[in-house]
Amino acid sequence: MLTPEKLQDISVKWVEKNLAFGPQDSVVVKDCMFDESTSMNHCYLMKQSYGLDIVNSMAQLTLSASGNVLAHGNCWIKPESNSPIVKRDNSITCQQAIESAAKSLNITKTNAESWKVFTNDKSVTVLDIDFVVGNATCHEALYKTESSLKHIWSVVFNTDAQYLNLMVDISNGNILGAADWNSHFDYTSEGRLKIRAPTGNFEYRALPLGALNPRNKPPVIITNPADTTVSLQGWHDPGAAILTTSGNNVIVSDNRAGLADVKKASAAGKQAKGAGSVFDFAMDDTTQEPSEYISASMTNVFFLANAFHDIFYHYGFTEATGNFQKNNFNKGGAGGDPVLAFVQDGSGKNNANFATPPDGQSGILRLFVFTNTNPNRDGAMENSIVLHELTHGVSSRLTGGKRQGNCLSTLISGGLGEGWSDAIAIALELGHSATRGDNVALGEYVTGNSQRGIRSFPYSTNLGDNPLKYSNLNSRKEVHAIGEVWAVMLYELYWNLVDQFGFDDDFVRTSTGNGGNTRFLKLLITGMKLQPCFPNFVNARDAILAADKQLYKSENACLIWAAFSKRGLGAQALGNSFVDDSTVPANCEQELRLDNDSSKACTTCLAFSRALLLF
């Protein structure tokens, strides 16, 4: 195995040789790690100019154990001839940048005179801001707009409703771009997880994968589901006198008070308490309001989030790649970042969201009550909602590496993120008896709409039931609407693989099976690691093809092409022009290489989505 230093050296030399640099430019390695699930190395690099990071100019390399470059992708900025560096006496301060950000959020009055400021080289930390949860940080950097390279403050803060990274022009306070680390669910076989357990029996009344929701199948007792080969301490805090819905992977609390501050919400929120190691709470959603069965809801989320952790550990979402754990057991990554899940969160309704800051900071899952039915229904009791949100944490941490939080922040890449979340939530719930002819309505329980759920169409391989194709992106300008197009393409791929290779019942315990459902998850997770920051549809498709080449020697290439070409993303489709193409390579083989043409790649990554701001 190559040393980290050698990996970095190889990566820097490859980038310096193959990508464009000006005399003032350099490159810095942000992260390099070995992926045990594939025996591949991944390195993530950022371009610098005048000694400052260009925050939207990145490259990703995948290398073999011996250091050969297997795949590469980038969003690389061409050299700039003019210096964007603003002299200090002409620049705004970090505090002024934060005030500009506040104005863009329609916050017109702040307690700026009470802020506490701490400066360290090129970064600033500001405390005691009245509209911010925790603190705010500013980092001096550069940012490429469509017209020029700008000197900026990269400002990060959490308002609860939005966990923002804003690019603020250091010369005048203008907001040039923004990324919201919060992702939302919407815009307006049973018992498979019976795995080895820690000492003693642990029981949870919950909805097993495939149960969908309480109206489809009621919660059942699931015994000893923790996979202690990957959750080394089990699911609960070791040594706790009273077991609750708290452990190394996730801490589940209620937040009916709607507290914005995560620390305060965690301290004030109640966790479900077990009777010893038994979490058995009754519910009746036909007569009870969600508040009457909140312990049942918390138990379901605790079960699902832990099961999700264990499943995707086998598929390569580990400590080294940025998963969510308090204790990383010296296996890489930052640690200290379990998922903080808030059930029946009072800060909203009819939705759910997941915030994914960089590695070392907890993912924040908020699940709301839905008011579309009588009685109201709890989003925590529809498995697909919880699984959808948890998948945001995976796609955000794996795309561009665990230390970046912005790589799915453009309109198209954000849409891809929504699509992965829908597709993986569906794949985890489809059982052995499901068929290609089945239509899936995501969110049918909370909406009361069994035909299409919360989306425009049901997910279906029938073009009559779901007509979405690549060209529909021309009229879809919102991330969830875009995500529906990507997700239905992935739904086609799922069924192509399952029809060809069958279904692995044991896919939750191991990724070594040969079934189509196992292949599907492996291709998606590995593809996320191979694609560049700010991917478009072509980048994401090609990353799946590249993953197939590395994992299966392109055995699935024809099935992959068939799925995407059916929905307009054929071999001649372009990343930035949404015209349907049904072309399939004659021999289903081609040079599987991620786009490294800067002039093409960077048109999708010049500006973070401004639509995420409340102007």
| Encoded tokens for 118 | 């701490």
Question: What pLDDT band is residue 464 in, cutting at 50, 70 and 90?
Answer: very high
Q: Cα–Cα distance between 181 and 170 in angstroms, integer?
A: 22
Question: Would you please indicate which residues are annotated as catalytic (active-site) residues?
Answer: 389
- Asked if residues 54 and 123 have their Cβ atoms less than 8 Å apart, the reply is no
pLDDT digits (tens, 9 = 90+) for 511-563: 999 999 999 999 999 999 999 999 999 999 999 999 999 999 999 999 999 99
How high is the pLDDT of residue 89? 60
Instruction: Give, as one character, the DSSP assignment of residue 321.
Output: T
- Of 550, 575, 566, 560, give the one whose Cα is nearest residue 416: 575
| Encoded tokens for 419 | 């699509």
- Asked if residues 73 and 596 have their Cβ atoms less than 8 Å apart, the reply is yes
Domain ranges of the chain: 4-75, 88-170, 203-387, 411-612
pLDDT digits (tens, 9 = 90+) for 285-327: 999 999 999 999 999 999 999 999 999 999 999 999 999 999 9
Q: What topology is assigned to 411-612 in CATH?
A: Neutral Protease; domain 2 (1.10.390)
- Of 39, 46, 37, 38, give the one whose Cα is nearest residue 8: 46
pLDDT digits (tens, 9 = 90+) for 476-510: 999 999 999 999 999 999 999 999 999 999 999 99
How high is the pLDDT of residue 599? 35
605 HSE (CA, 13 A, CB side): 28
* Dihedral pair phi/psi, residue 26, rounded to 5°: -150, 180
- Asked if residues 111 and 128 have their Cβ atoms less than 8 Å apart, the reply is yes
In DSSP notation, 225-257 reads ---TTTSTT-SS-TT-SS-BSB-SSEEEEE-TT
For tokens 């945001």, name the residue: 392
Q: Cα–Cα distance between 542 and 594 in angstroms, integer?
A: 6
- Of 178, 545, 312, 605, give the one whose Cα is nearest residue 322: 312
Could you tell me which residues are annotated as the binding site for Zn(2+)?
190, 388, 392, 418
> Which residue type, as a one-letter code, is found at position 75?
C
Could you tell me which residues are annotated as the binding site?
190, 388, 392, 418
Contacts of 513 (CB under 8 A, 6+ apart): 504, 506, 507
Burial of 110 (0-12, 13-18, 19+ CB in 10 A): middle
| Encoded tokens for 539 | 């980048």
How high is the pLDDT of residue 352? 95
> Is the Cα torsion angle 226, 417, 573, 57 positive or negative in sign?
negative
Quick one: angle between helices 537-552 and 411-429, nearest 10?
Answer: 50
**Which CATH number fits the domain 4-75, given the four candidates 3.30.1490.100, 3.40.1010.20, 3.10.450.490, 1.10.8.60?**
3.10.450.490
Mean pLDDT of 46-50: 92
203-387 maps to CATH 3.10.170.10: yes
| Encoded tokens for 265 | 């919400």
- Of 46, 73, 81, give the one whose Cα is nearest residue 154: 46
> Which residue type, as a one-letter code, is found at position 381?
M
Q: What is the pTM of this model?
A: 0.86
